[in-house]
Structure 1
Amino acid sequence: MTDHAQGYGPHPSPGGLEPSLVPPVTHDAVVVVPGIMGSELYDTDRNEVIWGLANSNWLTRAWLTRSGLEPLQLTPDELAGAHTRVRARRLLQTPAWSPFLKGFEPYHKLLNTIENTVAHPSAILTFPYDWRLPVSAHAHALATAARDHLTRWRTHPDQIAARANAVDEREARLVFIAHSMGGLVTYAALTLGGDLDLADDTRGVMTLGTPFQGSVVAANILNTLQGAPLPLPHNRLAAAAATMPGVHDLLPRFLCLEDGPAVRNLTPADVADLGGHKELFSASEDFFNKLYRQPLPHHRPIAGIGQDTVQSLQLHAGVVHASEYCFREDSNGELKRDKHGRPLRYPVKGDGTVHRVSASPVRRAMPIHAQHGALASGKQARRTVADFLLEDDHLGPDMADDGLGLNVPDYVHPNTRWDLTITGTDEPAGIECTVSAIDVDYSKPTRVQADGDDRLRATLTVPDTGLYRVTVRSDQSHTLTQLVFAGPDGTRHLDA
């Protein structure tokens, strides 16, 4: 921890003949809002944690036993509005994994970066929430928590000292740093949270990979058929997600469904057909139609780029067939078509979960080469967050350099060969790729080789069930990471 994180104070020069250097810190209050599955959930009836534990071994029990995810399913009372059974106690403490959404890194690195950029750690508020619930359920709670936090921080002696060194010596304001679904929760708090002055008391909102228009991945999560047998974790998640309004809030709200020669938005009937809940999706549509009547104030969106990302789908007999291309409309709202009248397909990629267009409600977004789950923990993102916190004026964001993409399987089996793909180069020189276990001492480098134009491939195995991290390093690009879960095939249960 740096000196200013322990308390704001001057750095005197020798002899006291020159003014002291003012440390680069902000006197604003910061609120960190995590993404879906980024909060630890505690069941008050069972007196136990049902999502997120002190080590990642709990993932094996959660995903590979018959009843592992049952506590996450919403009860009829919870769907009716009784939200007292499950409590979000803190941000995720260890890496986690989910089918389709893949890996989630904890927020320690992000919080350390913010702590070293504020006048005192008391300036930071984390807002864990029950991500199973609808986004709308958290609007008032976050608005109230942010207001109380700002009120307390404005009286803190380190805020007063830092404010005296600010250019305009204005009162401290709020800065929200929100990852994934947390950006939607922040949007709701600032526009529908009941505090009419909260937006005016907010200096900025930075969202990291927030699916403002939803994600096709949510349709994959809810789809229980998929046209082929699925590994156990996927079926576990589909059963739980079908009860979760929060997952329905992440369904795509853009032109994504190829229906013969037409492309259209999902309807409640489509959602029911693919395995979701018609009424939950209808309620979600009504909420977002209301939410988007007001712009998100002082917004700086960050979009993950360069990663293979599903962006559209076809629905045949209840089975989702997702594709890595999207569609566009012209300025008149007409679908872009080729000379034969066929819809044009645009492979814009994204962060592996949220395609780039969805990551911002406006056209301008700052691009970062990163996977969705690691978007808030990577070095480039953390530098961007620190720079945002220190801004006095909203300057235009720099454009990202060319970088690499990483594509790993959704689920692998121990002692079975599997491939990963690195995009953005076909030159293996200078590329280092390793796979490491999260909870045991295991790390192994792997050889990469050319696999066509602008693409590399590596073949790997892992020795046992558990959570592993793939890391790709290059002198020419930012480091990429992704979490991979290894487990048995679909015919075995740990508790069978």
Structure 2
Amino acid sequence: MTEPPQKNLPGHSPGSWPHTPPGLTPTITHDAVVIVPGIMGSELYDTTTGDVLWGLANPKWLAKAWLTKPGLSPLHLTAEEQAGEFGRIKARRLLQTPAWSPFLRGIEPYHKLTRAIENPVADPAAVMPFPYDWRLPVEVNARLLAGAAREHLEQWRRHPAHTAARRQAVDERQARLVFIAHSMGGLVTYAALTLGFDNDLAADTRGAMTLGTPFHGSVVAASILNSIQGAPLPLPHNRLAALAATMPGVHDLLPRFVCLEEGLNVRRLTPTDVAALGGDKDLARNSQMFFDNLYSQPFPHHRPVVGIRQDTVQSMRLEDGTVIASEYCFRSNTDGEAMRDLNGTPRRFQVWGDGTVHRESASLTRRTLPIASQHGALASGKAALQAVADFLLEDDHLGPDQANEGLGLKVPDYVVPNSEWAIRVAGTDDPSGVDCTVASVDGDFQREARLYASDGDALGASMKVPRIGLYRVTVEADYVTSPLTQLVFAGADGVMPLNE
């Protein structure tokens, strides 16, 4: 017998359920969802002045932030904040417009991710963004997340749309939590679920999907801290280093795997090493103790999405206080000793990553969902959004999907207007069917990059942009599901002193 048509559930207009013919139960989730952004993915404002300090809704604010003297100075942690007195700066909402940072490169807003999540939930009220002050320790934000997630779940369980939607769930169970976390947000989620801030939170969680989370840290964080005393770099890099030196959040992103190359020896960074490269020894020591505790706890209900096929720094050397980053990594045997060749030299491996986090750092287990994408776009690309939507509709862990080989994209960290810079597309030497465009975020410039066969199974192109601003490089191919994108910032020429 044919069932009667389903009535519309509260919170949705007639016909709003996606792909639900008459007589079928809507394919939705009645669970509560929490979106946890990555570092620099939350808009921050000063509670004493009301000024927005990071994330203005106009991309032109980036030039003021990075290229003028006052710039980001209000974001530096004060003595009171370093002593644990927080509250001067608050996170208001998720990033609303594309942003850029040296080394971290493009930071995309979370509109697409939010829309992808709101589509399969029973009502938009089931979705809670969790903006946070990414300057602070992961532990501080994890405690806040645990409290906010508990309150969100209880409010959603009282919502009329939840009451209606749970009738189609197995055993009509109550809603549980699903966390969708990008980059640093995955560390915050991991700690919120495991460190005892709410002992029932893990049991009330159905799943946590992380997108490009540096579970074992990233060499990029060491390069950030080193850029004041390292090789001469443009002004924005120096400004970020000065800011990062006071930020526990950046120290929580330092690599915790075997990455420091010293002749025939490779080892982990120590707090003394961090101080030598420009960081804070005490912040590094505090971070080390925090992660020693965190790693002793399994991450429950976890599904990691990892970026692949992008050139990514994976190890480093320290030469006269300067970080020299390399795009290869080292692996250890089960006894903890580095794998070596017949001559006793540590073996080097190329595992790539998402341009910021190398693949082996982006997961706590070997079970991953690999996607060819840059780090900043992992929360906005088509393939990742499909994975998120599918994850929301699951009730059981079905294992990882298989990924295509994919293409890789490499662009400079910082460019100068009217000067040529290079684009490299890895994974093919055939330009047919591959399109590359460069467009300004504010929409007044767009140009196609002429790709040509380059060395090492890759394509190359040269590009110029006309003025200071933020530009998006996009690579599309007939055989690739989701386009590759990366944001590039064009700024002033030359090296400028930090106090200018």
Q: Same fold (TM over 0.5)?
A: yes
Q: Secondary structure at the match of 1:301?
A: strand
Pairing 1:455–2:458 present: yes
Pairing 1:137–2:140 present: yes
Q: Secondary structure at the match of 2:340?
A: coil
Count of residues in Structure 1 that have an aligned counterpart in Structure 2: 489
- Structure 1 alignment gaps of length 5 or more: 13-17
In 2, Cα distance between equivalents of 1:35 and 1:6: 32
TM-superposed deviation, 1:492? 5.8
Identical-residue share of aligned pairs (%): 65
In 2, Cα distance between equivalents of 1:215 and 1:207: 16
In 2, Cα distance between equivalents of 1:254 and 1:37: 24
1:93 paired residue number? 96
- The C-alpha deviation readout for 1:295-317, integer Å capped at 9, x for no partner, is 11000000000000000000011
Q: Secondary structure at the match of 1:168?
A: helix
- Structure 2 alignment gaps of length 5 or more: 1-6
Q: CA distance change for structure 1 residues 416 and 9 in 2, over 3 Å: closer, same or farther?
A: closer
In 1, Cα distance between equivalents of 2:479 and 2:294: 41
TM-superposed deviation, 1:45? 2.2
Match for 2:159: what amino acid?
Answer: H
In 2, Cα distance between equivalents of 1:473 and 1:406: 11
| 8 Å contact kept, 2:417–2:465 | yes
Scaled by the length of structure 1, the TM-score of the pair is: 0.96
Pairing 1:484–2:484 present: no
| 8 Å contact kept, 1:10–1:20 | no
- The C-alpha deviation readout for 1:186-232, integer Å capped at 9, x for no partner, is 01111125211100000000000000000000000000356531101
1:394 paired residue number? 397
1:318 paired residue number? 321
Match for 1:484: what amino acid?
Answer: V
In 1, Cα distance between equivalents of 2:9 and 2:318: 53
What is the Cα-based RMSD across aligned positions, in Å? 1.9
| 8 Å contact kept, 2:235–2:498 | no
Q: Secondary structure at the match of 1:263?
A: strand
Q: Secondary structure at the match of 1:142?
A: helix
| 8 Å contact kept, 2:10–2:164 | no
Alignment of 1:353-364 (within 5 A): 353-364=356-367
- The C-alpha deviation readout for 1:431-476, integer Å capped at 9, x for no partner, is 1000000114211111000002310001000000000000000011
| 8 Å contact kept, 2:9–2:165 | no
Q: Secondary structure at the match of 2:49?
A: coil
Q: CA distance change for structure 1 residues 19 and 141 in 2, over 3 Å: closer, same or farther?
A: same
Deviates more, 1:479-488 or 1:165-174: 165-174
2:3 paired residue number? none
| 8 Å contact kept, 1:64–1:493 | no
2:341 paired residue number? 338
- The C-alpha deviation readout for 1:314-347, integer Å capped at 9, x for no partner, is 0011100000000001223221000000000001
In 1, Cα distance between equivalents of 2:278 and 2:498: 26
Match for 1:87: what amino acid?
Answer: K
Match for 2:486: what amino acid?
Answer: Q
Match for 1:337: what amino acid?
Answer: R
- The C-alpha deviation readout for 1:342-384, integer Å capped at 9, x for no partner, is 0000010000000000000111111001000110000000000
Match for 1:150: what amino acid?
Answer: L
Q: Secondary structure at the match of 1:322?
A: strand
1:419 paired residue number? 422
TM-superposed deviation, 1:495? 11
| 8 Å contact kept, 2:216–2:361 | yes
2:205 paired residue number? 202
| 8 Å contact kept, 1:232–1:489 | no
2:168 to 162, 165, 169: 165
1:15 paired residue number? none
Q: CA distance change for structure 1 residues 273 and 173 in 2, over 3 Å: closer, same or farther?
A: same
Alignment of 1:180-191 (within 5 A): 180-191=183-194
2:4 paired residue number? none
Pairing 1:110–2:113 present: yes
Pairing 1:41–2:44 present: yes
| 8 Å contact kept, 1:220–1:320 | yes
Q: Secondary structure at the match of 1:270?
A: helix
Pairing 1:351–2:333 present: no
Pairing 1:74–2:80 present: no
Q: CA distance change for structure 1 residues 4 and 178 in 2, over 3 Å: closer, same or farther?
A: farther
